[in-house]
Amino acid sequence: KLGFPLFVKADAGGGGKGMRIARSPEELLASMESAAQEAQAAFGDPAVYLERQLQRPRHIEIQLLGDHHGNLVHLGERECSVQRRHQKIVEECPSPVNDEDLRERLGQAALAIARNVGYYSAGTVEFLVESNDLKSFYFLEMNTRLQVEHPVTEMVTNVDIVCEQIRIAAGQKLSGRQEDVRLRGAAIECRIYAEDPANNFLPSPGTVTELAEPAGPGIRNDSALYCGYQIPVHYDPLVSKLIAYGNSRDEAIQRMLRALGEYRVGGIPTTVSFLRRLISHPDFRNGRLHTGFLEEHRLFDEEITENAFIPLAGAALEHLLNGKKPREIRSQRNDNRWKLTSRPNFYWRKW
């Protein structure tokens, strides 16, 4: 009844793991076996299920907040269509194609799902939306946790989602009501990974030897990086989330491009240059997005050179020619851990 192509998905899955595509009956068994093996290794559960694969859909999700007093609100949508290996790498709020009608229908569907299970705290309901008419949408999953991409919603709504989670856990009511939620401006998040784009995006563990992080109006950087930080081999290679806010989507894009251009990480390859090329693409700038965006535009095909290696190469050459120990390249940032984890450029307002 479903037909082909089909998604084979891990029942306990997430983050793009345990997912395969079967385009014919001949591929189905092998896809199920492969997905089950990966699911067992990643989640300890080999169970899989089948789902019809939509062609060129948009991935749009709704952020929810609920308390123990029956209050439940949605904070608008996030566009998460730019993905690699079924893993989001760029998210934005609001969606560049969403209108008030679609936002209301998605929001009400998400609220109905959460109410049906008595949900509270922060949660996200994810949907696939048909790209050709933007009228039909399908439930994908609900993530009963704080999402990686929550900062873009915080920037646009001025709601501190983490603070609200703490209030809810303490038995307090939400700080605002649905009618208090207002979307102002636009925000884009780029996930920065310790991966080598020139080597099929293989993880690149190592030591951070140089760090210059962007700042300025509308820029937020949630980062684990500091000079001397050891990128581990055992965990996900996500090392930073760079967020840019603007009064319009165009302004947010321009600020993101500037921030990516300023970002320097030495000692390891990262995806910074790849993301800069992606954000610069005309179809991204025009909001023509879908989950196969990267494959369609062959953005994986061009070799990427990280500018951050230039000063390291120079230091190595000086050492070889002069027999001198190269100076350690330090970040200009203050290494005080309290300051490293603070948000000096952003202040919360009441709903």
Q: Quick: pLDDT tens for 21-68.
A: 888 888 998 999 999 999 999 899 999 999 888 888 999 999 999 999
Residue type at 92?
A: E
What pLDDT is attached to residue 330? 44
Q: Which of 23, 85, 115, 145 is labelled catalytic? A: 145
Q: Which of 112-116, 287-291, 338-342 has the lowest mean pLDDT?
A: 338-342
Q: Hey, where are the domains in the chain? A: 6-52, 58-304
Read off the pLDDT band of 279 (50, 70, 90).
Answer: very high
CA distance 277 to 267: 21
Q: Quick: pLDDT tens for 222-239.
A: 999 999 999 998 888 999
In this structure, which topology does domain 6-52 adopt according to CATH?
Answer: Dna Ligase; domain 1 (3.30.1490)
Q: Quick: pLDDT tens for 68-93.
A: 999 999 999 999 999 998 899 999 99
Residue pair 187/243 in contact (Cβ under 8 Å)? The answer is yes
| Residue 145 among the catalytic residues | yes
Predicted confidence (pLDDT) at residue 309 exceeds the cutoff of 70: no
Q: Which two three-digit tokens encode residue 168? A: 């809810």
Which residue, among 247, 49, 240, 81, has the nearest Cα to 156 in the 3D structure?
A: 247
Read off the pLDDT band of 316 (50, 70, 90).
Answer: low
CATH 3.20.20.70 fits 58-304, yes or no: no
What pLDDT is attached to residue 298? 78
* Strand segments (E) across the chain: 6-10, 19-22, 48-52, 58-66, 72-84, 87-93, 121-129, 137-143, 186-193, 195-196, 202-203, 206-207, 210-212, 219-223, 230-231, 238-246, 264-266
Q: Quick: pLDDT tens for 293-303.
A: 998 887 766 54
Q: What does the DSSP assignment read for 312-351?
A: HHHHHHHHHHH-PPPPPP--SS---HHHHT--TT------
